[in-house]
Chains A and B, each alone.
Chain A
Amino acid sequence: MRWLKLMAGCAVLGFVWLWILPQVAQYRRVREHLELLDRRNINAGAMYYTEVEEHR
């Protein structure tokens, strides 16, 4: 039972990281935003933290 719980937990993590998050990244607005960050070489952290350098 304990191993089953662990496998279920791993399955949830795998599902989120390998399916849901890549799907979220494909949404047009999210994709455009990620591409914009990549194109301009902008450090995503700089959007949230003022001390992070804007450019990588």
Chain B
Amino acid sequence: MAQWLRKAFPHEDWLVILLGALVLATCASLVRWDSEPTPSRNLAGKPTPKPAVVNYAKGTIAKLEKWASNPLRAFVSGDQAKKPYQHFPALVLTWSVLGILLVPVGLWKGIRPIEYWTGFLVLTLLGTLAFVMASQEVIKQYNYEYVLWALLLGLLISNTVGVPQSIRPMLIGDTLIKLGLVLLGAEVLFNKLVALGPPGIFTSWIVTPVVLISTFWFGQRVLKMDSPSLNMVISADMSVCGVSAAIATGAACKAKREEISYAIGISLLFTSLMMVVQPQFVLWSGMDKNVGAAWMGGTIDSTGAVAAAGAVLGKDAETIASTVKMIQNVLIGVIAFAVAAYWSMAYGGNDNAEENVCLDPGEPAYWTMAYGGNDNQQKIGLGEIWKRFPKFVLGFLAASLAFSFLLPAMGVPSGAIETITKDTVTPLRSWLFCLAFVAFGLETNFRELGKYLKEGKPLLLYVLGQAWSMILSLAMAYWMFGVLYADKVKEILAK
């Protein structure tokens, strides 16, 4: 089965897109509406014809209640007439849906059933606890979202007792985030994407290459780094999108495996700090949230961390941050291509060639994608760009197109589309993000990351490059989302 899945889906992202499509199709098929309009009245008292919509899946994905001093109240509806702990069945159903939904991912990754279900149970228990923590009334009042507590719980375990080997294969945070982002596509209607496109492109496509080139130049000329490939990998993972950019450019410039691991380590360390600190800075400084979100989308390394940081600022901010990040992600292939071309001209394509081996297959698809199996011969062409393109972005776009145009064209009323996204897709996506952040926390060990702080020049390069990136991104985000497109973005998001 696992072999068949790997053959059918050579890249994990295709499987993620299929699962996302299945979820969206199932959610949509559980909604019914009357073709005869049922009259209702708007605020002005005027009758407005509105089709009656029934969502049979409403309430099946657990959303916890606010509580004051007894956390068990999180599982009790505010409506006292109803049975206590009524959210438990929904909770069990949610866990079951997620558990079954992720089985193909487990098979694709070759996770053994015992490891899959043990790991899944740990993730869901910690995820549920994170939701309970976020539902405390004072916490809820200040909107400290579940992602923070999911990360905190994961970090607490990984940095004290550590994570047992039997659970490690299920730490599939990146996959969960990709699936969540495909579902997010259904919530972000295409007109919003189009509106966010030009300022997003300016924010990420202009700043990113400038930061990449200037940081690489700085590393070579000012810091005089010994290894140009380490310089390039750090510059790319800091300016583009963390792990996948480090791997893709690492392959392009034939970096040593320890150089890629090192760059990824620094990136993880700073990403885990930035995704907590940056949204708090935006809130503290009183910065416009749209500008702050675009800024975070352009500077925080990984897509998942950007989504989490954006979620702290609200739904619109999450949309903007994720969109800017995904626009930036598209650059991975182009940048890897450009680096490969530059390397073969500048270094004759021989730098570290003998060291170019596959790394640990924690993300098998990435390694295969980046290194093309064990082929050390660098190939440059359109096929290479396509190979390195983050394909889940296509799932996000397809979901957005389907919910913006296809469903309305098929006669699905706006009320039905609203209940599909609001009552089923959004809660399910929140659970996926929550589990992803538990996994990210469990994967982050400060002791291991701490060793990167002891190194000199590469760390300095990352810090200075990131500071430079933050300054340029903030300026561009302010200009685009705060000045040039400010009104247009607000107007579209308000619709």
> Which A residues are within 8 Å of any B CB, using their own CB?
2-3, 5-6, 9-10, 13, 17-18, 21-22, 24-25, 30, 33-34, 37, 44-45, 48-52
Output the nearest chain B residue to A1 by Cβ-Cβ distance: B160
State which of A9, A49, A51 has its C-beta within 8 Å of the C-beta of B156: A9
State which of A2, A6, A10, A24 has its C-beta within 8 Å of the C-beta of B138: A24
Instruction: How many A-B residue pairs have C-beta atoms within 8 angstroms? Tell me.
Output: 63
Say yes or no: B69 contacts A2, CB within 8 Å.
no
Say yes or no: A25 contacts B161, CB within 8 Å.
no
How many residues on B have C-beta within 8 angstroms of the other chain's C-beta atoms?
Answer: 27
CA distance A46 to B162 in the complex (A): 39
Chain B 347-391 near chain A by CB (<8 Å), digits 1 or 0: 000000000000000000000000000000000000000000000
Output the nearest chain A residue to B157 by Cβ-Cβ distance: A6
Contacts of A51 in B (CB 8 A): 314-316, 493-494
Contacts of B69 in A (CB 8 A): 18, 22, 25
Contacts of B494 in A (CB 8 A): 51
Distance of B430 from chain A, by nearest CB (Å): 14
Q: Does B303 have its Cβ within 8 Å of any Cβ on chain A?
A: no
Say yes or no: B143 contacts A49, CB within 8 Å.
yes
Contacts of A24 in B (CB 8 A): 138
Contacts of B334 in A (CB 8 A): none
Interface of B is mostly: helix
Say yes or no: B160 contacts A21, CB within 8 Å.
no
B301-330 residues with Cβ-Cβ distance < 8 A to A are 313-317
Output the nearest chain B residue to A48 by Cβ-Cβ distance: B143
Q: Does B139 have its Cβ within 8 Å of any Cβ on chain A?
A: yes
Chain B 282-308 near chain A by CB (<8 Å), digits 1 or 0: 010000010000000000000000000
Known: A49-B313, A49-B314, A49-B316. A44 touches B140 (CB 8 A): yes
Output the nearest chain A residue to B149 by Cβ-Cβ distance: A13
Say yes or no: A48 contacts B71, CB within 8 Å.
no
Distance of B141 from chain A, by nearest CB (Å): 5
In the complex, given contacts A2-B161, A49-B313, what are 10 additional A-B residue pairs having Cβ atoms less than 8 angstroms apart? A6-B157, A9-B156, A17-B71, A18-B69, A34-B137, A44-B140, A48-B143, A48-B283, A49-B289, A50-B316
Distance of A11 from chain B, by nearest CB (Å): 11
Distance of A29 from chain B, by nearest CB (Å): 12
Say yes or no: B71 contacts A18, CB within 8 Å.
yes
Contacts of B161 in A (CB 8 A): 2-3, 5-6
Q: Does B68 have its Cβ within 8 Å of any Cβ on chain A?
A: yes
